[in-house]
Structure 1
Amino acid sequence: MSSIRLFILSALSERGPMHGHHLRLLSEEEHLDMWTDITIGGLYGAIKRLGAEGLIEEMRTETVGSYPTRKIWRITESGIQALSSLKIRGLREIVLRPDPFDLAITRLDPDRLDDLESVIAARLASLEAMLTDYEAHMRTVARYLSLAESLAMRHHVVRLRAEIAWHQELAAQLPQLILDEKARRTSHDPAT
């Protein structure tokens, strides 16, 4: 499931033809980088791919003032069909991406076990700061959000809180985890 494809096709379907810069401004206005996996830099590459696939097409070019010439894109009939499919898939698919942290915590460096407490504390502090910042941002933009947008942003808050709770559990069990890791390393050391 591609969020960026869903965004571009939806925007062209709902708002009509527009150029890439307009799509970029729209994504910034909606703060998509804060609550989706869409990056502003990825928009232009996605536009090219959608054009190559025939899901959008260049309608015309325009030049305004001293700005560079811009291609105006519109959604095609194939794009409308793809958008319908993307909307359904987006609602049905559950996406929980694996966190590389999980693999790293199972492959600890035996020479750095004493650093683990400060690393976990820093991670926890970062997550708490992210939550604080995100909630402050939500309060700032709340009056501009539709109910659906508000719920989507709330989903991010719930996920951050779950991450914080898990990290707090990890921090509480860290002394035992370090002891277990040292014992495991000693039992696997061929020199002992």
Structure 2
Amino acid sequence: MATKRKVNNLLALAVLSVIVQRPMHRYEIAATLRAHGKDRDMDIKWGSLYTVVQNMEKAGFLEVIGSERDGARPERVIYRITDAGRVEMADWTRELLAAPEPEHHRFTAGLSILAVLPPDEVIELLGMRIETLTQVIATTRAELDQVKGTLARLFVVESEYGLAMLEAEANWARSLRDELAAGTFEGLESWRQWHVDGMPPEQIPELGERSDD
């Protein structure tokens, strides 16, 4: 079970991961997060950065060490990580690496109600998804190869994982598409006939019931 944290927002962990390098103000934190591509690794909502930083200060993970002013711009408060922040960062990272949690995926949601569409349309839609994934995989692999030339592997393992997940999804979707196209998917003809006959939506749950005949 995930630990109930004082600031339970992955943006907080992202902030800790960059501010541990040196004290920063919020604008520098945001710029560094973008430069490190953290918005690709985590669901970062930039509009909540101010609130997250404030909450982290209240929780004792960050502390104010001063401020600076650049011309007519508003004064910028400078923060640094505390010892408690370092402990929180390490503990949170351990949890993320060791303890798998269910994560909601849009594709999973679509698959869960697959029956509402006729199989031939599903075949077409899966083909579109596979084509898009193939393009994304090629782009991601090229970007990863380029980055590997400038960064140690330690700092790109999350990109390797992302690429592996994309490839696994594409392979699985391709397998399902091919099974449907070949007519070997269990119950395919009944599924197709249900749509030909215009099955009422309220009968859709019955599709999941196996027949002993």
TM over 0.5: yes
Shift of 1:94: 2.7
Aligned to 2:6: none
Shift of 1:55: 1.5
Within the alignment, does 1:39 sit opposite 2:18 as a pair?
A: no
TM-score (norm 2): 0.73
SS in 2 for 1:144: coil
Code of the residue aligned with 2:12 in structure 1: it is R
**Of 169, 178, 181, which residue of structure 1 is paired with 2:175?**
169
Aligned to 2:111: 105
Q: Distance in 2 between matches of 1:116 and 1:44?
A: 43
**Of 49, 60, 84, which residue of structure 2 is paired with 1:54?**
60
Change (3 A) 1:111 1:157: closer
Mapping of residues 34-183 of structure 1, within 5 Å: 34=40, 36-39=41-44, 41=46, 42-95=48-101, 97-108=103-114, 110=116, 113-175=119-181, 176=183, 179-183=189-193
State percent identity of aligned pairs: 19
Q: What is the RMSD of the two structures over their aligned residues, measured on CA atoms?
A: 2.8
Code of the residue aligned with 2:192 in structure 1: it is K
Shift of 1:112: 5.5
SS in 1 for 2:156: helix
Structure 2 portions without partners, runs of 5+: 3-8, 204-213
Q: Distance in 2 between matches of 1:45 and 1:135?
A: 35
Shift of 1:69: 2.1
Q: Distance in 1 between matches of 2:29 and 2:126?
A: 39
Code of the residue aligned with 1:132 in structure 2: it is A
Checking the alignment, whether the CA contact within 8 Å between 2:18 and 2:33 is kept in structure 1 is: no
Checking the alignment, whether the CA contact within 8 Å between 2:25 and 2:79 is kept in structure 1 is: yes
- Choose between structure 1 and 2: higher helix proportion: 1
Q: Distance in 2 between matches of 1:61 and 1:128?
A: 48
Q: Distance in 2 between matches of 1:111 and 1:29?
A: 42
Deviates more, 1:18-27 or 1:73-82: 73-82
Code of the residue aligned with 1:37 in structure 2: it is M
Change (3 A) 1:45 1:179: farther
Shift of 1:163: 0.7
Structure 1 portions without partners, runs of 5+: none
TM-score (norm 1): 0.80
Q: Distance in 2 between matches of 1:115 and 1:71?
A: 55
Checking the alignment, whether the CA contact within 8 Å between 1:9 and 1:75 is kept in structure 2 is: yes
SS in 1 for 2:71: coil
* Number of aligned residue pairs: 188
